[in-house]
Structure 1
Amino acid sequence: MKTLLQCILIGAVALIVSGFKEGNSPFNQLPDFIQGDIQSSQYDGTTNDLLTGGLGASGLASGTAPVFDDPLNPTPEELRTLAIYNNYRALVDTVPGGGYGEFFGPQVGNGGEGLVAGEEHLAYMSVEGSDVPVTVMVQVPDSFNPHQACMITAPSSGSRGIYGAIGTAGEWGLKKGCAVVYTDKGTGTGSHNLATNAAQRIDGTLTRADEPVQFRADLSDQERADFNVAWPDRFAYKHAHSQVNPEADWGRHVLQSIEFGFYVLNEKFGQETGNGRKVIKVRPKNTLVIASSVSNGGGASVRAAELDDRGLIDGVAVSEPNVNPQVDTSFTIRQGSGPEITEHSRSLLDYTTALAVYQGCANIAPEVRDVAPLNAVFNNFTVAENICNSLANKGLVTGATTDDRATDALRILEEDLGIQPEQNLLAPIHFGLAVAQSISVTYANAYAEAGVADRLCDISLAATDATGAVTPLSGAREAALFSASNGIPPSAGVNLVYDNAEGQPTNLAASASPSSSQLDYGLDALLCLRSLAVGTDVTSGAALSGTAAEMADRIADGIEQVRASGNLQGKPAVFVTGRADAILPINHTSRPYFGLNQRVEGSDSNLRYYEILNAHHLDVLNGIQVPGLADTYVPLHHYYFQALDLVWANLTEKQALPPSQVVRTVPRGNIATPLSEANLTPIAANPDAGDRIVFSDDQVQIPD
């Protein structure tokens, strides 16, 4: 018979072993990857809150943004409120009639204005091999129940800051009573004014002092001074210029955010001992954890699920994830009776640089020019014609007329690059917003681990005036960068500048290329980025040499570092993606990831893929009240929340996930007609055979 002492010792050993198995000691310990102090705030849900920054649902929907009392010296709370306002509205359509307030929004299922009381904890963390700070945040709503503990990951979409997923994973998780763990993934809005040395603290306020900041370029004082003489008034940005490839660690960032989440929860709910230590009570084994978010954030959560070897994550629910699947040519993709797609799984930089080069010309193809909504508003057709001429003169498109050349540019994107024709209506708006151009610049720098002084392809970042010339950014705009920037210029007054433009450094969109002396959107610079992405000079076909060859090799290595394995380790997972996605083409992201997962996991796979018709990447565009937008598309956001609901039901109630399928939504057809349930065809528990997406005969088969 065991003595009392033996029982105590056995219990202690069991507790220690259990703790180590889950990556924790029996006592709550601050993870060693946390840098510096944790900033903690309590929000009462009346004067301020976790979800809306005190604005409430009506404040988020208002077209009037919150303002600073002193525009040059905003307070941390003012910056936070504006950041929540801008980040929420950047991803969610808040215009009446589009579903806000009925199908989604802070007030839906939450009552009143939807304010959520609770605690917010903010800190810096690092990953092994890098000293660049990564921002992490945990929100714990007052409704959190430690006896029914749940946690949702909310890595930022795009290159956004720490509040980038507030309106997506943040809203769903907080209203569910779950802790929400956020990270900026080492990207974020961290800007460094090289002229003044001003950078952002973790709360967004600016400082020139030598103290912890989100990002400063790795330049000595003399190097920075020399750079400023040659290239005055430039900025460095965290994602582009940190000289690391943060995307390679996005999965680790998410896993670490979960660990930090458990630390915060156990500081609050752990059992306190006599010496002030907290015994861990909230553990992975008694906490439901869903890895989630959209776009880049969704891709980060997918990577986290692939890397999770400690059982931290129970399920995955993501929308339009930016995943770069490992290339597996043993399977093809086919939609309906269309052609087999063998060249799938192209990298983000591959297809994005192609869009940056060819889309400006394709915008004026006859089948696009006068059909795509707001094409002429967002794009200068004279510049588009110049792009077509420059491409033709370089032998990159064929045709005797502009129409012929534009049609050939469109053919290249659709047939050679595997871009869906459904993107044609939206791609011109994205080109006008410089989406592909900005992604090409930022990610080429990041994959190459280039610094700001490298000025990859002679492109830098700065404010520009009405003529396109470089100018200092105003003090008020710089003070608001934390709240207004999406972390990937052009944004919030900081633009892409082509330093080698004919005449002088000029805003890329207004640049004349040296090779053509035409205003062709700085095509020479975009072709340079394209050449680095594919590893050869795309104009001549010759091998790259010198610095260009070195950078191309580094970029190729960087791309390989971010490839997804397709192995979700049997976790229940849901992807929802819009067929009309014009930013992350589905033949290179969700579709091939589904196929790779089927190849890797086979019958053990629990991944479901739902492809939503009449949906695309940026729901916010649906709020533009013009024909071809509000009347044509439905919110993918609604289906993202359905994905979370389905994974939640699977994990808590053992409800089976519906089979992979095409969801045939119904456009509103009239701008004046509010969105209704009739437009939002539900994901079917038992879809018709003609709607099912299957992997059969080494092929991902997608119904038309």
Structure 2
Amino acid sequence: MKRLMICTLIGASGLALTACKDSSNPAINTLPDFVRGNVEQAHYDGITDDLLTAGLGASGLADATKPTFADPLNPTPAELRRLAIYNNYRALVDTVPGGGYGEFFGPQVDASGEGMIAGTEYRALVSVPGRNQPVTVMAQVPDTFDDDRPCMVTAPSSGSRGIYGAIGTAGEWGLKKGCAVVYTDKGTGTGSHNLETGAAQRLDGSLTSADEPVQFRADLTESELADFNAATPDHFAWKHAHSKANPEADWGQHVLQSIEFGFYALNEQFGQELGNGERRITITPKNTLVIASSVSNGGGSSLRAAEQDQHGLIDGVAVSEPNVNPMVDDGFTIQQGDGVSITSHSRSLLDYTTALAVWQGCANQAPEIRDVAPLNGVFNPPAVGENICSSLANKGLVTGATLDERASDALRILNEEFGIQPEQNLLAPVHFGLAVAQSISMTYANAYGRAGVEDRVCDLSLAATDSNGAVTPITDNVEAALFSSSNGIPPTAGVNIVYDSAEGQPTHLASSVSPSSSQADYGLDALLCLRSLAQGSDVVTGAPLSGDAATLADAIADGIDEVRASGDLHGKPAVYVTGRADAILPINHTARPYYGLNQRVEGDDSNLRYYEILNAHHLDVLNGFAGVADRYVPLHHYYFQALDLMWAHLTDDQPLPPSQVVRTVPRGDISTPLAQSNLPPIEAEPATADRIEFVDNQLRIPE
């Protein structure tokens, strides 16, 4: 039973509740005061268009042919929405036949026909007190919503994605349950600002250069903008990187705001009509089941919201692979099987990603993984890896006289010094080839330091590039589709990371020649600069930073402190799943230490359960490729199991299974479709050898 709360401003969270706990004094439904501008509303019939698939249905989402625009230069908001849902769904969910789509997950599973869901969608821009840049929120209310048994699921976007970033994860599960699903882009999303033309994105994704509400524009004066464009024409500012807001510090607040926006939307539909255009609130936090959910950054956001929820808005939490930066607590250790006890856990996201950005390109050539890691040869040209190893050796950052020795030392550094699990080694190369660590390092260094695009952190910027890596104006049709095509963190959708100080000319980072080496070593000088900012000292010399670099490093450190999670869920029931092979969010710094911290903070009052899935990783979409599909199973399946377990716990008082390792069975032969035998369930009573336990200040993980 949720605690009573009054209809008043909640000072601790900055939220103005629209729903009153005291049903004897019902309130009038009003738009939350954090909403900026109008609320966009549309109903979808579930036949020509719908909430979950934008009218594409399950088969349309699985089709490799993308939806197109009638006029590529002027897409309609409906066309932008359809392509955004298509791209965001497929970015997280493996839709390749045989991988579980249509059998274990997908719109058509436990649904009729193509799985299209009729309902109403509400979207708006909101703000957090003290922040200038707007955040997008959305509520989807399916026609199957039962106002006698109301439920709500949060769906903050994963990664840096836009408002539809969690459509295929928390969105699909919640809508199929008949729950309202509330989304937020968490202050990330595309939010592109073409500094040359002034074009930016409206709430619906269409472009405008006019002075009107948009998702993001860089905070530059007219003269500053002119100077920037004169020095470096055809560049972009991007919302997550350049909003000067450190949006991650507010991710929990954004989720709480999305919940309140959801209650507003529900009462607009189902509140008691008073005959004067007003509605009396009938759906409240007291009578509504609310599950905080989502994956990756979205999962971390929901955990942070549960930590900050002092007023009973959230009943339970069910997330997958959450990106959390736990507060550092050296009072406990982590041990897997009979392995070495890990004391240096809970490194920050920027710490381990800058390490991956610096050393992984060399480690990709290590004999242990060079010819074994899937897609390594496709995404990581050996010549570039050799140059990276050579540059690192010349700077004293790896040892060895041969390429094999240097690459093996780079791999050792990542595994032993930075706590990267050996199970993550095989997938790390494909992530480096996709510039995952590089893009995170660049974006988050800017965000944590509250730097603007004009600050050119480590001489890195954003622009379209040509086949030679040189900056070029973005084509009009590519820019018109950015809202639908971008994942919110360049390189994405035709916009790349540019190293402005590359030898010769500003160049796409991946093909940059470093001034210090005159080698095409993936702009290693810029990546070393980011690493130095993360550790607060020169990574090559070990000397303290000075001047502007020291000031920025201090600001970044402060920004990281702002996003540290407390581990205190206030006794809320919570479950999360993560894959042991997660090569984006290493489990020794995220999932495992968060669970340990929670046990330390809450002790016997903790209701958190942790399920570690073997042979699973961060991006299920990669399971559609040979070399990955045969080794790994979909974590997405276990995320839906976690949601089912939480639902059963909250609605039927079913006990949550103990924390455990789940021993999946990879397919091996990808011509054989994934079967239930590959996916053993999270057990209600796991074997003793599979139980995860926190004993004597040690988190013990079975091998």
TM-score (norm 2): 0.97
2:17 to 23, 39, 53: 23
User: Residue in 2 aligned with 1:681?
Assistant: 680
Q: Deviations over 1:184-228 (max 9, x none)?
A: 000111100001100000101000000000000011222111111
User: Residue in 2 aligned with 1:700?
Assistant: 699
User: Residue in 2 aligned with 1:6?
Assistant: none
Quote the offset at 1:381 in angstroms: 0.6
Cα separation, 2, equivalents of 1:274 and 1:671: 61
User: Residue in 2 aligned with 1:642?
Assistant: 641
Quote the offset at 1:276 in angstroms: 3.2
Label 1:275 to 1:684 Cα distance change in 2 as closer, same or farther (>3 A): same
One-letter amino acid of the counterpart of residue 683, structure 1:
I
1:174-193 to structure 2, matched below 5 A, reads: 174-193=175-194
Quote the offset at 1:16 in angstroms: 10
Label 1:161 to 1:309 Cα distance change in 2 as closer, same or farther (>3 A): same
One-letter amino acid of the counterpart of residue 23, structure 1:
L
Secondary structure of 1:317 counterpart: strand
User: Residue in 1 aligned with 2:583?
Assistant: 582
Structure 1 contact 43–119 (Cα < 8 Å) conserved? yes
User: Residue in 2 aligned with 1:332?
Assistant: 333
Secondary structure of 1:148 counterpart: coil
One-letter amino acid of the counterpart of residue 633, structure 2:
V
Label 1:402 to 1:149 Cα distance change in 2 as closer, same or farther (>3 A): same
2:654 is aligned with 1:660: no
User: Residue in 2 aligned with 1:12?
Assistant: none
Percent identity over paired residues? 75
User: Residue in 2 aligned with 1:539?
Assistant: 540
Secondary structure of 1:387 counterpart: helix
Label 1:17 to 1:412 Cα distance change in 2 as closer, same or farther (>3 A): closer
2:545 is aligned with 1:515: no
Which range is displaced more, 273-282 or 688-697? 273-282
Structure 1 contact 193–236 (Cα < 8 Å) conserved? yes
Quote the offset at 1:17 in angstroms: 4.9
Structure 1 contact 303–564 (Cα < 8 Å) conserved? yes
Quote the offset at 1:18 in angstroms: 6.5
Secondary structure of 2:95 counterpart: coil
User: Residue in 2 aligned with 1:270?
Assistant: 271
Cα separation, 2, equivalents of 1:18 and 1:516: 63
Secondary structure of 1:146 counterpart: coil
Cα separation, 2, equivalents of 1:110 and 1:450: 47
Secondary structure of 1:286 counterpart: coil
Cα separation, 2, equivalents of 1:237 and 1:373: 31
Cα separation, 1, equivalents of 2:6 and 2:191: 40
2:72 is aligned with 1:78: no
| RMSD after superposition | 1.1
User: Residue in 1 aligned with 2:433?
Assistant: 432
2:381 is aligned with 1:380: yes
One-letter amino acid of the counterpart of residue 654, structure 2:
Q
User: Residue in 1 aligned with 2:13?
Assistant: none
Q: Deviations over 1:300-346 (max 9, x none)?
A: 00000000011000000000000000000000000000001000000
One-letter amino acid of the counterpart of residue 636, structure 2:
H
User: Residue in 2 aligned with 1:119?
Assistant: 120
Secondary structure of 2:136 counterpart: strand
Secondary structure of 1:542 counterpart: coil
Structure 1 contact 89–620 (Cα < 8 Å) conserved? yes
Secondary structure of 1:575 counterpart: strand
User: Residue in 1 aligned with 2:236?
Assistant: 235
Cα separation, 1, equivalents of 2:269 and 2:468: 55
Structure 2 contact 398–409 (Cα < 8 Å) conserved? yes
Structure 2 contact 577–639 (Cα < 8 Å) conserved? yes
User: Residue in 2 aligned with 1:53?
Assistant: 54
Q: Deviations over 1:120-150 (max 9, x none)?
A: 0000000011020100000000000011100
2:128 is aligned with 1:134: no
User: Residue in 1 aligned with 2:495?
Assistant: 494
One-letter amino acid of the counterpart of residue 334, structure 2:
I
One-letter amino acid of the counterpart of residue 227, structure 2:
D
1:547-696 to structure 2, matched below 5 A, reads: 547-624=548-625, 626=626, 628-696=627-695
Cα separation, 1, equivalents of 2:76 and 2:280: 37
Task: Count matched residues.
Answer: 688
User: Residue in 2 aligned with 1:283?
Assistant: 284
One-letter amino acid of the counterpart of residue 677, structure 2:
A
Label 1:17 to 1:568 Cα distance change in 2 as closer, same or farther (>3 A): closer
Cα separation, 1, equivalents of 2:55 and 2:34: 31
Q: Deviations over 1:620-651 (max 9, x none)?
A: 00011x2x211111000000000000000000
Quote the offset at 1:20 in angstroms: 7.7
Q: Deviations over 1:467-517 (max 9, x none)?
A: 110001100000000000001000000000000000100000000110000
Cα separation, 2, equivalents of 1:39 and 1:703: 50
Secondary structure of 2:611 counterpart: strand
Cα separation, 1, equivalents of 2:78 and 2:71: 13
One-letter amino acid of the counterpart of residue 630, structure 2:
D
Label 1:19 to 1:559 Cα distance change in 2 as closer, same or farther (>3 A): closer
Q: Deviations over 1:438-480 (max 9, x none)?
A: 0000000000000000010000000111111000110000000
Cα separation, 2, equivalents of 1:131 and 1:504: 34
Structure 1 contact 515–524 (Cα < 8 Å) conserved? yes
One-letter amino acid of the counterpart of residue 522, structure 1:
G
Cα separation, 1, equivalents of 2:240 and 2:489: 8
Label 1:19 to 1:222 Cα distance change in 2 as closer, same or farther (>3 A): closer
One-letter amino acid of the counterpart of residue 642, structure 1:
Q
User: Residue in 2 aligned with 1:302?
Assistant: 303
Cα separation, 2, equivalents of 1:541 and 1:16: 53
Quote the offset at 1:27 in angstroms: 1.5
Cα separation, 2, equivalents of 1:436 and 1:662: 27
Cα separation, 2, equivalents of 1:82 and 1:188: 15
Cα separation, 1, equivalents of 2:335 and 2:233: 51
Question: Which segments of 5 or more consecutive residues in structure 1 lack a partner in the other structure?
Answer: 1-14
1:134-153 to structure 2, matched below 5 A, reads: 134-153=135-154
Label 1:274 to 1:70 Cα distance change in 2 as closer, same or farther (>3 A): closer
One-letter amino acid of the counterpart of residue 616, structure 1:
H
Secondary structure of 2:236 counterpart: strand
Cα separation, 1, equivalents of 2:261 and 2:17: 12
User: Residue in 2 aligned with 1:159?
Assistant: 160
Secondary structure of 1:219 counterpart: coil
Cα separation, 2, equivalents of 1:267 and 1:692: 46
Secondary structure of 1:425 counterpart: coil
Secondary structure of 2:289 counterpart: strand
Secondary structure of 1:136 counterpart: strand
Quote the offset at 1:271 in angstroms: 1.2
Cα separation, 2, equivalents of 1:667 and 1:245: 39
User: Residue in 1 aligned with 2:23?
Assistant: none
Cα separation, 2, equivalents of 1:440 and 1:373: 23
One-letter amino acid of the counterpart of residue 168, structure 2:
G
Which range is displaced more, 597-606 or 222-231? 222-231
Cα separation, 2, equivalents of 1:163 and 1:16: 31
TM-score (norm 1): 0.97
Quote the offset at 1:279 in angstroms: 1.4
User: Residue in 1 aligned with 2:206?
Assistant: 205
One-letter amino acid of the counterpart of residue 393, structure 2:
A
Cα separation, 2, equivalents of 1:56 and 1:252: 33
Secondary structure of 1:290 counterpart: strand
Quote the offset at 1:521 in angstroms: 0.3
Quote the offset at 1:23 in angstroms: 3.3
Cα separation, 2, equivalents of 1:225 and 1:47: 46
Structure 1 contact 577–590 (Cα < 8 Å) conserved? yes
Quote the offset at 1:274 in angstroms: 4.1
Secondary structure of 1:503 counterpart: coil
Cα separation, 2, equivalents of 1:276 and 1:619: 47
Secondary structure of 2:368 counterpart: helix
Q: Which runs of 4+ in 1 moved over 6 A?
A: 18-22
Cα separation, 2, equivalents of 1:243 and 1:18: 33
User: Residue in 1 aligned with 2:468?
Assistant: 467
Structure 2 contact 357–441 (Cα < 8 Å) conserved? yes
Cα separation, 2, equivalents of 1:514 and 1:169: 46
Quote the offset at 1:675 in angstroms: 0.3
Structure 1 contact 23–310 (Cα < 8 Å) conserved? no
Structure 1 contact 576–612 (Cα < 8 Å) conserved? yes
